[in-house]
């Protein structure tokens, strides 16, 4: 099993619990579950009076959400009935059929690329997967959004993984030199490979490196 929490880097925001779209309620409909699960979250962007923060989620520990909050200087709520949204953005080199493994302590909802794919109303109290979902990853950017409620106390956790043969990366293909920035250096690397069929600089995966790959990178500046 390929766990996303070994550790996984997630964008998270903590809100009052709601049976509806808590992102929309907190932001006066400026941010929605569908929007974030389609486009992804960005550190520092607002959801009403809250902001998205980056955190590391340990995929093997009981109460890993509370641990992540404490590591970010946030005391988990003493009174339950809160919900946390966790957003994970990753990239697939091709369209692929695989399986998503999900487990959670307390009620949870899961979206992939703007579509609600799973709802769980159970309480399990142990760090493991409970549901195995067939999914299709699209070529390029994919967004996984999970909302997990806290209805009782300290064992607040979520456990997420892919089937072991799933191929993905958290580095976007247009960050050619993988330095965490999209800039002129990436354009230079691609331009030097014009006419070749090298995988790393063939950004759109059409089998040849050309101006179309440069356009994709330039649009990400």
Question: What is the distance between the alpha carbons of residues 88 and 55, in angstroms, rounded to a whole number?
Answer: 11
Closest by Cα among 6, 30, 204 to 88: 6
Is the model's pTM score more than 0.85? Answer: no
Q: What is the pLDDT along the chain (221 residues), one digit of tens a residue?
A: 333 443 345 566 666 655 678 889 888 999 999 999 998 888 888 888 888 888 887 767 777 887 888 887 877 766 667 788 889 988 887 899 999 998 887 788 999 999 999 987 766 666 678 889 999 999 888 999 999 887 665 678 888 889 999 988 887 777 787 777 788 888 888 888 888 777 778 877 778 888 888 888 888 87
pLDDT in tens, 18-67: 567 888 988 899 999 999 999 888 888 888 888 888 888 776 777 788 78
Joined together, the tokens standing for residue 9 give 């880097």
pLDDT at position 67 is 80
What pairing do the DSSP bridges indicate for beta strands 96-104 and 158-162?
Answer: antiparallel
In the chain, ranges of CATH 2.60.120.260 domains? 2-162
Q: 3-state DSSP: the chain helix, strand, coil percent, rounded to 5? A: 15, 35, 50
Output phi, psi for 214, to 5 deg.
Answer: -65, -40
Closest by Cα among 189, 192, 214 to 204: 214
Fold of 2-162: Jelly Rolls (2.60.120)
Residue 8's alpha-carbon distances to 5, 22, 141, in angstroms, are: 4, 24, 17
pLDDT at position 124 is 61
């Amino acid at each position: 099993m390929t766990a996303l929490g070994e550790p996984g880097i997630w964008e998270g925001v903590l809100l009052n619990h709601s049976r509806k779209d808590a992102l929309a309620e907190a932001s006066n409909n400026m941010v929605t579950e569908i929007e974030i699960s389609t486009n992804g979250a960005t550190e520092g962007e607002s959801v009403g009076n809250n902001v998205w923060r980056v955190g590391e989620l340990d995929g093997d520990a009981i109460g890993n959400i509370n641990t992540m909050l404490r590591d970010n200087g946030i005391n988990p709520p003493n009174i339950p009935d809160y919900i946390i949204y966790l957003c994970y953005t990753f990239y697939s080199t091709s369209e692929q059929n695989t399986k998503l493994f999900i487990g959670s302590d307390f009620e949870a909802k899961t979206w992939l690329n703007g579509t609600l794919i799973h709802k769980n109303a159970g309480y399990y109290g142990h760090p493991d997967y409970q549901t195995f979902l067939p999914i299709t990853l699209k070529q390029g950017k994919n967004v996984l959004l999970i909302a997990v409620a806290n209805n009782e106390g300290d064992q607040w956790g979520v456990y997420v993984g892919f089937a072991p043969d799933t191929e993905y990366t958290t580095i976007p293909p247009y960050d050619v030199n993988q330095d965490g920035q999209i800039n002129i250096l990436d354009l230079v690397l691609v331009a030097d490979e014009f006419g070749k069929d090298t995988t790393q600089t063939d950004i759109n995966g059409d089998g040849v490196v050309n101006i179309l790959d440069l356009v994709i990178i330039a649009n990400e500046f």
